[in-house]
Amino acid sequence: MGEVLTTMKIMPDSPDVDLEAIKSTIESSMPEGARIHEISEEPIAFGLVAVILQFITEDGEGGSEAVEEMVQAIDGVASFEVTGVGRLM
């Protein structure tokens, strides 16, 4: 089985949310079988900045579900969207 790189855009509740706290929680809470490839920030509008998370999982059914559940449970996260999925060679 191969590996899959998933990109996720994480939107905070407001521009006042501590993005470093969100990123730190992601780094310390990644579920087993998933590893971080890159975490970055993307300005959206009016001071709102999204966290862009790229992570790698095994290619298989439900590969990103555990990460999605973890992100959804973080304080200060309003929503998230999977913006890309691709198989690694």
pTM of the model: 0.92
**Torsions phi, psi for 41 (to 5 deg):** -120, 150
The Cα 87–Cα 10 span in angstroms is 21
Q: Is 71 left (phi over 0), alpha (psi -120 to 50) or beta?
A: alpha
List 4's β-bridge partners, or say none. 57, 87
Q: What percent of the chain has pLDDT over 90?
A: 85
State the CB neighbour count (10 A cutoff) for residue 2.
9
pLDDT digit string (tens) for 51-80?
999 999 988 877 789 999 999 999 999 999
Q: Would you say the C-alpha torsion 18, 77, 52, 47 has a positive or negative sign?
A: negative
